[in-house]
Amino acid sequence: MFLGVDGGGTKTAYALIDAHGALRASHVGGSVSHLSQGYERAAALLVEGVRAVFAAAAADAAEIRFAFFALASHGEDSASTARLDAMPAAVLDPAHFRCGNDMIGSWAGSLACEDGISVIAGTGSMAYGEYAGRSARAGGWGEIIGDEGSAYWIAREGMNLFSRMSDGRAAHGPADDGMRA
């Protein structure tokens, strides 16, 4: 069996499939982001989620041929990479899993690891693509630096427009009416 884990900033989704690609079990749990949870809590939530999907499939770690843990912010800070890479070791043999950025999981899942670009716009926003063995990413820098297209950015831009309308620095429009309702 194969385990895929999408550890985003808001929630974590787990999917366990068999060798034929049939879904054996899935589970959704809380975010395993070390930035919001801290390393120890994130690791505990990750293990809890893996165990929950195993229980739902009546399976165990010995049946896992390989797992990929797509983790928010993985690889973005060299000081945290080793700790993130070690998180699944409490429940799986390190020879049977790999960790990477959650954007890689988005690309692999949406394009079946074929050349192309995957764009996400959720809690955060980022684009990642691969072509002819080369890879590139853009965005994903967080709300302070720039996360254009993310939910946070959209809300902030809406509030910014509302404040300009309220102050008379922008023409009144639907955003003004909607915010006052």
pLDDT one digit per residue (tens) for the chain, 181 residues: 999 999 977 899 999 999 999 999 999 999 999 988 999 999 999 999 999 999 999 999 999 999 999 998 888 888 999 999 999 999 999 999 999 988 898 899 899 999 999 998 877 788 999 999 999 998 877 777 778 888 888 888 888 988 998 899 999 888 777 777 6
Predicted TM-score of the model (pTM): 0.80
Do 36 and 98 form a contact (C-beta atoms < 8 A)?
no
41-52: burial string, b at 16+ Cβ within 10 Å, e else: ebbebbbebbbb
* pLDDT for the residue numbered 40: 95
pLDDT value at residue 3: 97
Which residue type occupies 128? Y
pLDDT at 73: 86
101 with 70: CB under 8 angstroms? yes
